[in-house]
Amino acid sequence: MTQSIDGSTLTGAADSQAALQQPREDHLLAAEGAAVPSESVLEANGPGEAKVSPASGFASFGLRRELLDGLEAIGFVEPSPIQKAAIPELMLGRDLVGQAQTGTGKTAAFGLPLLERLDPGQRTPQVLVLTPTRELAMQVAEAFTSYAARMKGVRVLPIYGGADFRDQIHQLRRGVQIVVGTPGRVMDHMRQGTLDLTGLRSLVLDEADEMLRMGFIDDVEWVLEQLPAERQVVLFSATMPSEIRRISQNYLRDPAEVTIRPKAADGRRIRQRFLVVNGPQKLEALERVLEAEGSEGVIIFARTKAITLTVAESLEQHGYDVAVLNGDVPQNQRERTIERLRDGRVNVLVATDVAARGLDVERIGLVINYDIPFDGEAYVHRIGRTGRAGRSGEAILFLTPRERRFLGGLERAVNQPIEPMEVPGNASINQHRLDRLRQRLTAVLQEPVCDPEERALLAEILQRVAGEQGCTADQLALAALELSLGGKPLLLKGEERWAQSRPGAPSGRPRDSERERGERRSFNERPAERGEEGPEPHMERFRIEVGWRDRVKPGNIVGAIANESGLAGRSIGKIRIFDAHSTIDLPRGMPDDVFADLRRLRVMNKELQISRLGS
């Protein structure tokens, strides 16, 4: 049986619904996005029988009263499409393959039916959930705990690396029904004999494609091979690569298949944009984007640990409350960092893909892909950190000119176009600063941040200054605002130099041959090399080991460097060609990896061997 939901269709669940006595019409209406009352009244069949008023649409699944009470307590009203499709199948005990993006409610889709079929009297694990990361394991365990808050005797245990192994053994010996863990730590307990799975009824593979990406798929298969012959297997994945499909074919028996395709409205909840910026200008572009687009919570994805540190240090210097998550951050610090992000003590998180896996923080309003992800699946997971729980979100992708060609693949992964944008200019940044200042003033007027005693002292200071200086209230207010700026200018001024390829313009080589003609003319005039001026302040001069005897022209050098470094041709400065070498001015701050690539770059079949002049 296969179900496919794209916001307009739902097929193939008739047998499950009939078994649960679920009205077919309501089920279809809900799947199509029509309004279904959050509360329904069932009239009594016989005289004297009380009316039953289910707290939410979840009652139609036949869940026990304790689960319904728990859902009502946490504010769950209407099932999501993945829950409507999966819960009936899982309550029948069927295996299931579910394809759904993060944030669609899949944890409740498998958690509720497995809790419904749980035996609280059995003190050994009945449900095992494998997750790719510790953060996701903790979140899934917390979700199970909240769903089962009204069920007596149900215990949930997350087990993962980095936590005390002996404490986990102690908790397992006390008795748990639900274990949520990462593959490596689950295998450790199974090999030690401390995790008894002889009574296991259900196994869930959550975010299976991510476990494949992280290299855990062999561990997952090992766990599957140790399970009892009679068990239910549930597999959820955002994408279905061939290896995950093979797992489902080998280890699941006649599974129901559910695919959730986001409605157009769901896809539009996350506004996706890209900008093209040259490598050396990425940090400044990032600061401008945060100034103009920053929201209450931001995650910035970088490719390596080193880049996360560089970005975080730069943002800290500009006054941002920033934290880092990468593979070098110990587990206890990771947990504290996520909690600080959740409660607003940190507004900007700079993270690598693996470190941020499983993050579920509702207040994230903006995701910035500072480095392009390796594939469409990673992009989908990244932007899924925003737009949670029905909220809107923003996603901005940084591309260098040579990465522009990968844009189409990412658009296919999300099945929608990614809009072009430009690096915010001074005007938009200044407007954002003015709006933010006005909002802060309004917020303090509506809800003072000082206690009454301190406010009284502030009022007394204002009265004293007004009396001494003979100034008006407006003059005092202006002086206080200036004081709040801390000596920093309110408005951004100065030249807006952006060596950025415009989204619709070709990148790489210069648009015409003016540079080449100009540089050749300057060589023919042969100004004295030793009397030549140094590079401009924002540029740095380099030497490359190709010259006239190699028949090289300025256009050859510009084109090769632009294509390799991601620099637009017009951001490359003066070029001087001599017999056996040349000099070239490039923007300051060239990353080491780009510099290393340029050293090996060949022009006219000869390596550039680029070096800084004077080094």
Q: What is the three-class DSSP state of 75?
A: coil
CATH topology of domain 2-39+51-261: Rossmann fold (3.40.50)
Q: Which of 45, 36, 104, 615 is nearest to 389 (CA)?
A: 104
Which parts of the chain register pLDDT below 70? Answer: 1-56, 101-103, 261-268, 295, 354-358, 374-375, 377, 388-390, 486-487, 492-533, 563-571, 614-615
Residue linked to tokens 């050994």: 124
Query: What pLDDT, on the 0 to 100 scale, is given for residue 171?
Result: 93
In the chain, which segments carry CATH 3.30.70.330?
A: 514-612
Query: What pLDDT, on the 0 to 100 scale, is given for residue 390?
Result: 62
Residue linked to tokens 């103009």: 292
CATH topology of domain 514-612: Alpha-Beta Plaits (3.30.70)
Tens of pLDDT, residues 244-270: 999 999 999 999 998 876 554 445 578
Check: pTM over 0.75? Answer yes or no: no
Query: What pLDDT, on the 0 to 100 scale, is given for residue 478?
Result: 83
Query: What pLDDT, on the 0 to 100 scale, is given for residue 47?
Result: 40
Query: What pLDDT, on the 0 to 100 scale, is given for residue 354?
Result: 67
**CA 357 → CA 132, 327, 382, 437, 573, distances in Å?**
8, 11, 8, 35, 41
Burial 131-152 (b: 16+ CB within 10 A, else e): bbbbbbbbbbbebbbbbbebbe
Share of the chain residues as helix, strand and coil, in percent rounded to the nearest 5:
45, 15, 40
In the chain, which segments carry CATH 3.40.50.300?
A: 2-39+51-261, 265-422
- The strand pairing partners of 235, in sequence order, are 97, 205
Q: What is the three-class DSSP state of 582?
A: strand
What are 23's two structure tokens? 């009205």
Kindly give the interhelix angle for 407-414 and 376-383, rounded to the nearest 10 degrees.
60
Report DSSP state, residue 7. Answer: S
From CA 583, how far away is CA 36, in angstroms rounded? 71
Query: The CATH number of 265-422 is which of 3.40.190.10, 3.60.15.10, 3.40.50.300, 3.90.226.10?
Result: 3.40.50.300
Other beta carbons within 10 Å of 77 = 12
